[in-house]
A and B are shown apart, each in its own frame.
Chain A
Amino acid sequence: MIWVDTVLQGVLLGGLYALFALGLSLVFGIMRLVNLAHGDLIVFAAYLILMLVTLLGLGPFVAALIALPIMFGLGWALQRVVLNRVLGTDILPPLLVTFGLSVVLQNALLEGFSADSRRIPAGWLETASLPVGPISLGVMPLLTFLSAIGVTLALQFIFYRTSLGRAFRATSDDPVTASLMGVKPASVFAQATGIAMVVVTIAALYLGTRANFDPTTGPARLIYAFEAVIIGGLGSLWGTLAGGVIIGVAQTVGAQINPEWQILAGHVAFLAVLLVRPRGLFPRAFD
């Protein structure tokens, strides 16, 4: 029974990792951009929610709702002002610029909020749990996982059922021809990053309510997110969700064997998948 519990907890934890990863997956799928500041942006959003909660006395979910448009705007502006300038065939400039952004963000947070670890208070929800047979599942982990499924569905809908999603896919295929259809790639990319930041904010809500975070928490989240994306297959949203779950389960199983092995087990699972399926579990037909 302990193993069933362990795996279930891992699946739910995987929902959190999937939320970390979905924004990264979206941006990569559309503009082949790997944002090394992705993890730090999640932490930044967590501080934003924390500020709204503590300064305005809001509940965490209402605070996240307010943070959503703010983060969308920040993502949009980041893409418009900085990242669009460095997109191109050379992968070096976007990597270095986002790496620089990561360092700037971490240290700005350090300056603003000190190195103390924080947590977004969620009241009774923090400890609430649902008994499922002999196992008890935390309400927050359950909400996290359901949100991950919800975000995947929503992104899937945007991608395949709306004219914006059509423009995303067309621009990803061929930006020059897309511009002949009246698409402005710079603006499409800005909207994509804005949407990615909305996902980042949702991820931040659960990151911040479930565990402590501090300004240096970001890079590790980036790595989990990245692993989930690669395991799932680049550009596949459901694959990313599956990748998150695999990392989550590997971590809880590893921790069950030896608590010190939790993180290591996740990385090892990633390397194992990379060894067997270099293009991930659900690779796109073409790239």
Chain B
Amino acid sequence: MALLETRGLTAFYGDFQALFGVDLTLAEGETVAVIGANGAGKTTLMRSIAGVIRQALGMVRFDGREIGAMAPDEIMALGIAMVPEGRKLFPSLSVEENLLMGAHRRKVAGPWRLETVYDLFPILKERRGQPGTALSGGQQQMVSIGRALMSNPRVLLCDEISLGLAPVVIRDIYAAFPRIRETGASIVVVEQDIGQALKVADRVHCMMEGRVTLSGRPEELSREAIHDAYFGAAA
């Protein structure tokens, strides 16, 4: 049985429909990538699962429980942590305080605590006392990932973590993923950077205009199929 599953997920921003019946499954321990161009609905999908968008219809099931109508803080307490698009560090909090916020509600014993997060991203330990916003983009992204890990989540939702970062920085951040997977967390990675996504994912969903247009294992998908699903067949 899937750990996380959406079926027929539909979402609106006011009158604008952003998702049209999206089906997604995530098995225990699996990493799934959701790729697609800007505006394909990837972030909306993440925000709907996390409960930030309340105008979502359809089903979201986590560990056998319907969570579609829950508030974001309740969903988080169940063990779904989000690395939001744009990193979203709290500017009035130091790096360490930002990390501690991750475990504010969900205090579960597990592999992740301050020391192990510092172990994963040693630079953060050096900068623990600085305001989060004083860090470089890549370091901020590490804080944002570390913050989500602090709750020892069962599902980690990573929204556009490579956006706006230099390739070498992106490589450094993705280098941490195997260690995150080792701890047993299931991961959804939303990416525009197809190369990175294909490298870490067990399965890939490609989205366009609010719909999933292609799904499969990375090795099964041809470049042409991905290209068509990403930009539309006519392009």
Contact = CB atoms under 8 A, between A and B. Distances in A.
A and B touch in the complex (CB under 8 A): yes
Interface of A: 163, 166-167, 169-170, 172-174, 176-184, 286
Interface in B92-140: 92-93, 97, 100-102, 104-106
B91 interface: yes
Interface stretch (B26-34, B35-43, B69-77, B170-178): B69-77
A53 B71 CA distance: 44
B93 A169 contact: yes
B147 interface: yes
Interface string B37-76: 0000000000000101000000000000000000111001
A166 B101 contact: yes
Contacts of A286: 91-92
Contact of A183 (B52, B73, B88, B91): B73
B200 to A, nearest CB: 22
B88 A182 contact: no
A184 B76 CA distance: 11
B194 to A, nearest CB: 26
B105 A183 contact: yes
B88 A181 contact: no
B50 A181 contact: no
Nearest to A167: B104
B186 interface: no
A177 B47 CA distance: 11
Contact of A179 (B52, B81, B151): B52
A176 B54 CA distance: 12
Nearest to A164: B104
Nearest to B147: A181
A163 B106 CA distance: 13
- Most chain B beta-carbon neighbours within 10 Å: one of A170, A172, A184: A170
Contact of A182 (B73, B90, B93, B97): B73
6 contacts: A166-B104, A170-B101, A180-B50, A181-B76, A183-B105, A286-B92
A181 B104 contact: yes
Nearest to A187: B73
Contacts of B71: 179, 184
B72 A179 contact: yes
A181 B91 CA distance: 15
Given A173-B92, A286-B91, A182 B84 contact: no
A167 B105 CA distance: 10
Given A181-B147, A182-B151, 12 more contacts: A170-B101, A172-B92, A174-B88, A174-B90, A176-B52, A179-B52, A180-B52, A180-B72, A180-B81, A181-B102, A182-B77, A183-B73
B91 A173 contact: yes
B88 A177 contact: yes
B82 interface: yes
The 5 lowest CB-CB distance pairs between A and B, nearest first, are: A182-B105, A179-B72, A182-B76, A177-B88, A173-B90
A182 B148 CA distance: 11
Contacts of A178: 90, 101
A166 B91 contact: no
Contact of A163 (B52, B82, B100, B151): B100
Contacts of A163: 100, 104
A182 B93 CA distance: 16
Nearest to B78: A182
Nearest to B86: A177
Contacts of B147: 181
